[in-house]
Amino acid sequence: MRIVLVGPPGAGKGTQAAFLAKNLSIPHISTGDLFRANISQGTELGRKAKAFMDAGDLVPDAITVGMAKDRMSQPDAANGFLLDGFPRNVSQAEALDEMLTTEGMKLDAVLDLEVPEDEVVKRIAGRRLCRNEDKHVFHVTYSPPKTEGVCDVCGGELYQRDDDSEETVRRRLEVYHTQTEPIIDYYKAQGLVVTISALGKVTDVTERAMEALRSDRAAQA
């Protein structure tokens, strides 16, 4: 399956993507994680991306699209993938369509995670990530680690992302509304969008997402 996950920052895309990718046996490809990995490895690409990320802006397409395509061309993505954070504007969506068409492939679904804005701000302000592995995500009140500041999974140190400050979150939300939301209409025109509520327990949202994808497949068959 080839799935795109969309939703505002703080919708829980990364958390859901990790579970969904596992359930569906496809790789989870997150452009945000790829950028953060480049930053922590000190690469040229990471150096270029960091200033945009810290400001809450999109990293320019010239950097992002090539990186995403490279990752999608890896052997583990040959039979499907779950895209998280890409595409993030209409021109990226067009670039993705072009790439898929060239390969004779198509998307199966675009899963849209809906969450009210005040909830988004609460989620992001309390979000903590593990220094060893971005996919180990906690929240100071919603899913606290057993020991404060320490990752339950691997013992790594937990930290707050540089772009999770309140000011940057507001900018990221604005960027989401103006640049990313239009891709929902773009994909609606292709009949691909499945919308679910991202409120409630993580496991409930995963179940809701799996059910929505199953009924979407059944409807298409």
- The residues of the shown chain that bind ligand ADP, judged by CB under 6 A, are 9, 13, 31-32, 35, 52-53, 56-59, 64, 85-86, 88, 92, 163, 172
Angle (CA) 14-15-17 rounded to 5° is: 60
Distance CA 56, CA 70 (A): 24
Q: Smallest distance, Å, CB 219 to ligand ADP?
A: 28
Q: How far is CA 218 from CA 20, 212, 214, 215, in A?
A: 18, 10, 6, 5
By beta-carbon distance, which residue lies closest to ligand ADP?
Answer: 32
Q: With contact defined as beta carbons under 8 Å apart, do 60 and 88 qualify?
A: no
Angle (CA) 12-201-116 rounded to 5° is: 55
| 2, 13, 123, 128: the active-site residue | 13
| 2, 88, 123, 128: the active-site residue | 88
Provide the 3-class DSSP secondary structure of residue 141: coil
* Nearest alpha carbon to residue 65 among 43, 41, 94, 39: 94
Q: Smallest distance, Å, CB 11 to ligand ADP?
A: 7
Q: Which is nearer to ligand ADP, 163 or 216 (CB)?
A: 163
Q: Smallest distance, Å, CB 218 to ligand ADP?
A: 29
- Scanning 109-176, the segments in alpha helix (DSSP H) are 117-125, 166-175
| 36, 71, 127, 128: the active-site residue | 127
Active site residue 172: yes
Q: Which is nearer to ligand ADP, 183 or 192 (CB)?
A: 183
* Nearest alpha carbon to residue 213 among 197, 201, 196: 196
Q: Which is nearer to ligand ADP, 159 or 214 (CB)?
A: 159
Q: Which is nearer to ligand ADP, 9 or 27 (CB)?
A: 9
For residue 80, give both structure tokens.
């499907």
Active site residue 146: no
Q: Smallest distance, Å, CB 166 to ligand ADP?
A: 14
The type of residue at 184 is: I
| 50, 122, 135, 161: the active-site residue | 161
Active site residue 171: no
Q: Smallest distance, Å, CB 97 to ligand ADP?
A: 15
Active site residue 208: no
Active site residue 127: yes
Radius of gyration over every alpha carbon of the chain, rounded to an integer in angstroms: 17
Catalytic residue ranges? 13, 88, 127, 161, 172
